[in-house]
Amino acid sequence: MSNGLLLRTDIHKLFDRGYVTFDSELRFAVSERLKADFDNGVHYYAMQGTTLARPIAGFDPPSSEALRWHRDNAYLG
C-alpha cells in the first residue's frame, strides 16, 4: 500500500475537513479555525507539534507530495 496514513477516527475526520494536518517534518498541526468554528479543540491543541510515528520497516511512509497538497489546498491554517 502506498500513501497510507493511519489516524484515529476523530483526527481522520478533522484531517479530511482541513482542521488538522502534518508539516514537512510530520509534526501535527491544528488550525486556529477549530477553536473559532467550534469553540473547542483543547485536546487537539495539546497534541500540536507531536510527530507522526514512522511506519515499521517494509511499509512506505505517507507521501510527502500528498501531505504538501493537503497543507496547501485543504488545511484551514
1 falls within a domain: no
Q: Which domain holds residue 47?
A: 9-13+24-73
Q: Express each pLDDT in 43-73 by its tens digit.
A: 999 999 999 998 888 888 899 999 999 999 9
Q: Express each pLDDT in 2-14 by its tens digit.
A: 677 889 999 999 9
Number of domains, the chain: 1
How many C-beta neighbours within 10 Å does residue 76 have? 16
* Residue appearing with cell numbers 511506519: 55
29 falls within a domain: yes
Beta carbons of 5 and 16 less than 8 angstroms apart: no
How many C-beta neighbours within 10 Å does residue 67 have? 20
39 falls within a domain: yes
